[in-house]
A and B are shown apart, each in its own frame.
Chain A
């Protein structure tokens, strides 16, 4: 049985952090859930969509995060409990409505869950979205465990209703994408009819009185926080060092204390409610603590807020003589304080430094003893397009076209699977990679520079999901302002990077229902932009088409359409055929001077048989797409239609 559907309070189940967040919403009786996929947040909405039939809530993949939050907001205006979830980049997209709607409030419980990605493990930045809580004047909760992830989300709904203000819950990769034991709670049965009454009006004009009102709400939030069970202290009554921490910082802090064996000397004050800060609670714990060390993920947000609080007249007496953290350089990071992910070792290092322990006796990793014996380079495993990925074919084509064109043409890319165009398997072709849809904006600007001597043709590359998410205004702009560039939409029929979520072009909703399939080509045609479609696996046709398009000095769209290989495999299994290398025909090192297929093409399944001195295919990895057979100049890679063991 799906653990999220178990209605058995007290039952302990193993949940992913994102599932725990979803369960919290379910237990709170959430009715409306919306999200745009993005690691490490995607599994929240996926879990809610999966369980929607059981609990009757609504869940959707919205076209972008702003729309998701606006949808949830709309639901909250009608009195329902609603939630929007997104990754850190998504809050930037949603920030316009977030900073506006908080001023006017909402009657139904409204929760924004943001999953940050410290260290940028699966992101292009490591933005700390807690800063938005202050920016938008909204209460912030930070779970430190899987249990809290569930419980806090549940509580966030009632807090939001009590304050009539959206609440933000900030998770991080190590909670969202980790798993642990969670004790389930009861599922609230909330029977509410959605209605917006005549007297209900929500507008942020005039802003100033509204702003004052939301400040009042925050003061009330701080009062409520004073007695929150999510804030707790553990340790000696009068610790030599008080660690103030939140989120995963708590985990690393307690681990650090264990590692250093300093449990008698160090106390830990864990805060779950980090904006606004509960003053009285902090005053109580800080009074008498001479050394305070703040350990938290990402930016020193808690640290700054604490410093600001301690500058208040009423709290000045509680200010410790030493307040240590990232600002003081006590808490370090892989790339400097506040840069990169926290971990137990960094926390132990900080605690040791705060306690002035000279050389903490921590276990030495094997690296130190092994290093001397390693007389070879360990090859780095670069991120790469998956075997069979249509984007590899598309990038192969675009690389060839740009080279054949010979005018130093540029590939302007952005965010999606095709971000990997920045790396080796995308032939390092992408020249930009920032945020969704920005390839269009960049190209739109660059293509207007002919008058300043700019003569390089431009290909703007976006994905299918990105197209719907953030490309339409940019294309409208380019069309309106007559900016001549080639926009290539890499359509792999999924939001593949984040786990194959459907989008408006796929004909399916998050709930698995049939949906109108929005056509990229019709949308472009509707704007009067010439559009062509080609299958990137037809390399010669795609190359010709793109080359020809690049010769024209006008705005055009080419959709390179081929389904994601992983998705294809999931839906239909591997094709019943074998792709193999005919060792007799393969001329190996002699081919095009040196193994053209593996050296130039870059498929992870196309390996090298040292003994036979010829190419080979790793059957475990190969997706049987067969593109290599087309590229092999000697016809040595063969496809045999036959049933093969999966």
Chain B
């Protein structure tokens, strides 16, 4: 199983819990969710504990992530959207930390499971729908009728808008999940080449240099992807929230 690229996604039960026939066991996935939350929370909490007027490096990182997400949300959803700032910031930090933790060898990647990303995406879309209807009532449905469209094509456009709205949680979750999954599989496959080639003596070990370089390069790329996907998830969250705040486009 050591060379199986799928093995890293295996979920193993640490503390079996079963309620009403459903399995709620504390698994390695749960453990890494806890680790993600604790690491991100502790980092943000501890680096800002001195409340330095002139920030140190670590405090700067916390402040920069704060201002990064704040400006992202303000740019796409305006100042009314700032009520969702804690939500967007939590999503960004959670996904980012989960992606980054997943890059450590032998660590489990929480976001490589479709159910986790799908649950997060549903949370976003659910927030959009609930807030949209609470704030604008049925006016929220104007979201599906863009202004300035000729009456003839309105039914078609509405249909397209509805389909695109419904596909949002799918695309949002699959994007993150597939990126994490594919990246980790690629890493594992190239790393697997290194071990299996070096089993063939000196020539094999010499040939293993190439996949080793690839593994190193892809690891670097994966760090970029880990950040990019967290960013993309957060940006799309902001844009969807903008629909809830200003449904009239």
A, B from the same assembly: no
